[in-house]
Every structure is written in C-alpha cells, then in structure tokens.
Amino acid sequence: MPGIRPYSIRQKLTWMNMLVSGAALLLACMALAGYELADFRQTLERRLSTQAQIVGTSSVTALLFNDPAAARNTLSALRAAPNVMSAAIYTAAGVVFAVYSRDGRGGGVPGQAVTPAGTEEHRFTSDQLILTRAIGFQGKNIGTVRIQSDLHEFNDRLLRYTGIVGMVLAASLLAAFLLSSVFQKATARPIMQLAETARVVSREKKYSVRAPVTGNADEIAVLITAFNEMLEQIQERDTALQAAHNELEASVERRTAQLEAVNRELESFTYSVAHDLRAPLRHIQGFAEALREDCANTLDPTALGYVSRVVDSTRRMDQLINDLLGLAQVGRQEMHFRPIELKNLVEDVAREVAEECPGRNIQWHIGELPVVDGDPGLIQLALYNLLSNAVKYTSPRDPAIIDVGTKRDDGERVIFVRDNGVGFNMKYAHKLFGVFERLHRREDFEGTGVGLATVQRIIHKHSGRIWAEAEIDRGATFLFTLEPRA
C-alpha cells in the first residue's frame, strides 16, 4: 500500500492492530444490530397484527348490525398504542365503516379494497408500517381492518444502536491503541534497533557494532542472531583484509626500494660500462684508421680489407652503445607534457632525415595531423626513428615514397607512416619491436635493431599503441595512437 510506506514499523503495527480490531468489532456490532433490528421489526409486525385481530373480533357485532358508533368506540381503544397513527374498518364491499386518527381528524385513511377472509397483509414504507387484516364470521368475509403505525420506535432504536456501536468502537479502538503501544515493544523495538544498527553499519562502515539480543526464541531473535553473526564474519574478513593490505603495502614499499636501488646500480653500471667500452673502442678505431692511412702502400689488399672491417665494426659497436644508452634513457626520462603541432614536428624531422641522405629521390606526402599532448623531445625521437626506418628500407626504390597521415580505425584516430620499401613477412611481426631483432640481413640494410624498440617504449609511455602492417616487396606501414589534446 503506497499510503503507508513512509511510516515506521511501529506505526504500521499500531495501525494494523487498530484496523483489524476495529474491522472485526464493527462487523460484529453490525451483525448484532442487524439481528436485533430485524427481530424488533418482526415484533412490531406481530404486535400490530394482534391489535388488528382484537379490533376485528370486537367489530364483528357492529358490522353485522351496521353500528358504526360501536365500531368507532372499538377503534378508540387504539389510543393506548402511541405508535398507531390511524385505523379504519371497512365493510365487505370496501366502504369505510369507521375511522380512527391519532390527531382526531380522521384523515389519511384511503379507500380499501376487499381482503379475502382469513388473510393478512403488511407493508413497510419509509416512515410507516401498514397492516391490513380481513374480518371473518362463520367463514365469510364481513369486513376489513386497516392500521397505520409510525416507525418512531424503530428509528429511535436504530439511533440508539448506532450510538452504542460508535461508543463501543471508539472505546475498542482506544483500547487497541493502548494495548498495541504496550505489546509492540516486544515486536517493533527489536526490529527498530536492528534497522538502526544496519544504518550505522552502512553509513559508518563500522562492523564492530551488534544489534541488541532480545532473549526470545521467535523469528526476530533468529534474524538478529543471524545479522550479528554476519557482522562478525565481515569484521573478521575486514580485519584480515586490512592486515593483508598493510602487508602488501609494506611489501610494495620494500620491493620499490629494492627496485630503485637496482635501477640506480644498473644506471651506474650502464654508464660505467659505456665509458669503459668507449675508451678502448675509440683506441682500436683510431689505431685501425691510422694503420689504414699510414701503411696503405705497404699492406697487401687482404690486410687492408681486414683493417677496414675492424674500422666498420668499431663504428657499428659505438653506434650500438649510443642506441642502448638512448633506449635506457627513454625508460628513465621524466615526461613533460604540452600541446604538440604534430604536422610541424613531422616536417622538421623529415627535413633532418632527408639531409642525411643527399642524392636520394624521396617524395614526402605529409597529410593533416592532429594536435596531441605529449613530451616534444620523446615524440620527436620516435618520429625520427620511424622516418629513418622508412628511408632506410626504401633505398632500393626510385622514387622512394613516404606517406604520413591519419585515419580512423574502429572510431579511434590512428597516425601512420607508410613507405613503398621492401616490406617484411608478417609472420615475424612479433619480433619487430624487440631489442636487437632484425628482419633483414645486416649486409642489406644497416642498423642496430634498437630504433623500433625505442619507438615502442616512447609510444607506451604516452599510453598509446603501435603496430605494423606489411607485405614483402610492397612496403610497410607503422601505425600508432596518441592521446588527443584534452
């Protein structure tokens, strides 16, 4: 029932008790009053029938001897019945023979049809009871008596019963209200206390509270016990979870400290190794170049070839050390985000890459590119590696065509770098971004195998993705995503 939803269970129980008690009592009183009024109505009919029978018997002589005065005297005896309004005696032909009226004017008695001998009829109207009885003598109908009675007595009794029912109902409802107020403590109070406990637990997340136990053995006591047991289990789990959380935080702090220490040691080791490797490497490279320049006339071609290989190898090793240091620096470098006009940056990098390979016929197609949020230095490094990679693998092509632009992939904006180079087999695409992984021979294309790994690390630091699509001898496309400017 929508009308009782806002009320508390205490109020609902009170209203329920009062309504049930009131409804039961009202039905009982109405049944009793209805029975009493029906019985009283039958009593009125019997009493009026008796009066009509007495009047009819007393009027036989007057009718036989045509003595209206005697009949009127007989009717005047009805003055002793205050409920009789009027009465009349009719002849067998239905003609008025004698009339009685309580007001003495004799009005209100209409003509009466003949009634068969030995019969009696009664009829209730809104305010009267009308009874008609045949007057018989020796089996013949010699006349009719008709009596009209008011219903004041009946109405008075109806009013008294209504008043009694109202008073009894009011007293019963008051008693039901008082008894409900007393007895509801055993039912409503534990439920209200349970509800308050549930509110405290929900609002404050305080699982140490408990609902008061009633000590009874009813369903409410079972519910409270089950609720308290549930709170106890939750408290135990919460305590265990908090302990595990604290232990995990302490473990994370220890591991973080260990990782930071390892990173510091690794950084120190990296720079130390790089420094220690570069010094003898440069010595080897310098002496080898000096030997090639100073002793070129005294060395045979095979020896000169060996010296050239030493110089090339030391140069590649120096580049490899530089690339590895750059890759390590990308992982440690702090990010400084700001808006980047990507098209301007691509154009600058493309000019720089083109200057490094003079004489090449390279066609650059740079489309509209978005403004992104990122670290300008890292994004420039990633673009440099991608464009250098495209220039390197298009070296057999004339012209080399390199496209840079954007497209939509499942509603996501994707930036791509496409070339018409030698491509690669997609079967080995999973190795593409690994350190030192190469999909082509070193004799065909130079490189250390670190550039694309550096690009992937930069894109991942910007919360983006990078992947590649290619076909052998039909070029390759590198695609990546960057967060758009907020």
Classify 479 as helix, strand or coil.
Answer: strand
Q: Which of 127-131, 140-144, 299-303, 335-339 has the lowest mean pLDDT?
A: 299-303
Continuous H helices in 297-450? 301-332, 342-355, 376-393
Judge if 242 and 379 occupy the same domain.
no
Domain around 262 = 190-332
What is the sign, positive or negative, of the torsion defined by CA atoms of 277, 279, 285, 287? negative
pLDDT tops 80 at residue 289 = no
**Beta pairing class for 466-470 and 476-480:** antiparallel
Q: Which pair of tokens denotes residue 400? A: 């080399």
Top-confidence residue, 36 or 277: 36
**Backbone dihedral angles phi then psi of residue 450, each to the nearest 5 degrees:** -115, -20
Domain boundary among 117, 152, 179: 179
Nearest partner of 98 among 108, 87, 107, judged by Cα: 87
Q: Which amino acid is at 84?
A: V
Q: How many CB atoms lie within 10 A of CB 340?
A: 20
pLDDT tops 90 at residue 404 = yes
Q: Which pair of tokens denotes residue 133? A: 């009885």
Judge if 301 and 380 occupy the same domain.
no
pLDDT of residue 478: 92
Q: Would residue 59 count as lying in a domain? A: yes
Q: Would residue 266 count as lying in a domain? A: yes
d(CA 455, CA 433): 8
Q: Would residue 185 count as lying in a domain? A: no
| Residue-wise pLDDT tens digits, 198-214 | 888 778 777 778 877 77
Q: Would residue 141 count as lying in a domain? A: yes
Domain boundary among 130, 147, 179: 179
Using alpha carbons only, give the angle 372, 375, 377 rounded to the nearest 5 degrees.
120
Nearest partner of 448 among 295, 313, 297, judged by Cα: 313
d(CA 311, CA 260): 38
* 170 — pLDDT class (breaks 50, 70, 90): confident
Number of domains in the chain: 3
pLDDT of residue 344: 92
pLDDT of residue 187: 66
**Backbone dihedral angles phi then psi of residue 366, each to the nearest 5 degrees:** -110, 110
Contact 459, 466 (CB under 8 A): yes
Q: Would residue 486 count as lying in a domain? A: no
Judge if 280 and 198 occupy the same domain.
yes
Q: Got the DSSP string for 304-318?
A: HHHHHHHHHHHHHHH
Q: DSSP state, 404? A: E
Judge if 209 and 352 occupy the same domain.
no
Judge if 220 and 319 occupy the same domain.
yes
d(CA 435, CA 424): 17
Contact 150, 82 (CB under 8 A): no
Q: Would residue 319 count as lying in a domain? A: yes
d(CA 216, CA 156): 53
Q: Which of 30-44, 233-247, 268-282, 349-363 has the lowest mean pLDDT?
A: 268-282
Judge if 356 and 262 occupy the same domain.
no
d(CA 219, CA 197): 18
Residue 261: partners with Cβ closer than 8 Å, 6 or more residues away: none
pLDDT tops 70 at residue 293 = yes
Q: How many CB atoms lie within 10 A of CB 372?
A: 21
Number of residues that this document lists for the chain: 486
d(CA 258, CA 237): 31
d(CA 198, CA 418): 64
Contact 404, 366 (CB under 8 A): yes
Q: Would residue 448 count as lying in a domain? A: yes
pLDDT of residue 416: 93
User: Which range, 15-29, 296-310, 429-443, 449-463, is most confident?
Assistant: 449-463
Bridge partners of 402, per DSSP, are: 364, 419
pLDDT of residue 402: 92
Judge if 275 and 141 occupy the same domain.
no
Average pLDDT for residues 221-239, to the nearest whole number? Answer: 81
pLDDT tops 70 at residue 266 = no
Classify 30 as helix, strand or coil.
Answer: helix
Judge if 161 and 198 occupy the same domain.
no
| Residue-wise pLDDT tens digits, 417-454 | 999 988 888 887 777 776 656 565 655 556 556 778 88
Judge if 218 and 168 occupy the same domain.
no
Residue 173: partners with Cβ closer than 8 Å, 6 or more residues away: 18, 21, 22
pLDDT of residue 418: 93
What is the sign, positive or negative, of the torsion defined by CA atoms of 169, 173, 178, 182? positive
Q: Which pair of tokens denotes residue 156? A: 């008075």
Top-confidence residue, 22 or 342: 342
Residue 122 class from Cβ within 10 Å (0-12 exposed, 13-18 middle, 19+ buried)? middle
Residue 332 class from Cβ within 10 Å (0-12 exposed, 13-18 middle, 19+ buried)? exposed
User: Which range, 255-264, 287-296, 300-309, 347-356, is most confident?
Assistant: 347-356
Top-confidence residue, 183 or 19: 19
Judge if 21 and 152 occupy the same domain.
yes
**Backbone dihedral angles phi then psi of residue 373, each to the nearest 5 degrees:** -100, 125
pLDDT of residue 114: 47
Contact 459, 432 (CB under 8 A): no
pLDDT of residue 479: 92
Q: How does the average pLDDT of the chain come out, rounded?
A: 78
pLDDT of residue 1: 47
Q: What is the domain-level CATH number for residue 381?
A: 3.30.565.10
Q: Would residue 212 count as lying in a domain? A: yes
Domain boundary among 113, 146, 179: 179
Radius of gyration (C-alpha) of the chain in whole angstroms:
59
Contact 402, 390 (CB under 8 A): yes
Token pair 């089996």 is at which residue?
139
Judge if 199 and 324 occupy the same domain.
yes
Average pLDDT for residues 298-314, to the nearest whole number? Answer: 72
Average pLDDT for residues 276-291, to the nearest whole number? Answer: 69
Judge if 170 and 78 occupy the same domain.
yes
- Percent share of the chain, pLDDT over 90: 7
Q: What is the domain-level CATH number for residue 10?
A: 3.30.450.20
Continuous H helices in 145-218? 152-183, 188-204
Token pair 């008043």 is at which residue?
163
- Percent share of the chain, pLDDT over 70: 76
| Residue-wise pLDDT tens digits, 88-114 | 989 888 888 889 888 765 445 555 544
